[in-house]
Structure 1
Amino acid sequence: MVIRHNLPLLMAKKHIKSVKELARQMDQKYGYDYATLYNFNVYIHKKLDPKLIADFCEFFQCDIDDLLYLEEKEVTRCI
């Protein structure tokens, strides 16, 4: 299983059209730059930052299960 997020859906609900716009709004209160949010959005991060997750939940006024979910990952085997 892998952890996935609903960031695009949450952004759409707040009429935020891009990660750059999200970074502008979140930088004011939380201090996150574009690169951090972009890396989260495209799954470049190596581990989840609990503070970032909590700040997303506060910013979007949602619960953690509205932001994150588990997805079955297909197992590929080399034969």
Structure 2
Amino acid sequence: MSILLSTTRWTDACRELAAQLEDHDELLLIHDVENDPVTERQSTSESVRLIAAGEPEYCSGKANTIATGMEATRHVWTDHDVHPPSD
């Protein structure tokens, strides 16, 4: 499963989500630009990836980061309140 999180800095939510990842999961931390504070955080897990969305065009910053994350995901993604099927 892929978790998309739009953020510009490492937060408690990032830490908590990263700690809950299982072998087949990934956490995509989608930020705006390469020098956002979140990029200073070095991940010790290949399951946590930082992705720069760049400046939004014709949409909000949040919509831009989520669209970028959807393109970069390696797995199925869904809204947070839906449980994906086991297969």
Asked if Structure 1 and Structure 2 have the same fold, meaning a TM-score greater than 0.5 normalized by the shorter chain, the answer is no
- With structure 1 as the length reference, what TM-score do the two structures score? 0.28
Task: From the CA coordinates, give the structure whose radius of gyration is larger.
Answer: 1
Richer in strand (by share): 2
Highest RCO, 1 vs 2 (Cα 8 Å, sep ≥ 6)? 1
- With structure 2 as the length reference, what TM-score do the two structures score? 0.27
Richer in helix (by share): 1
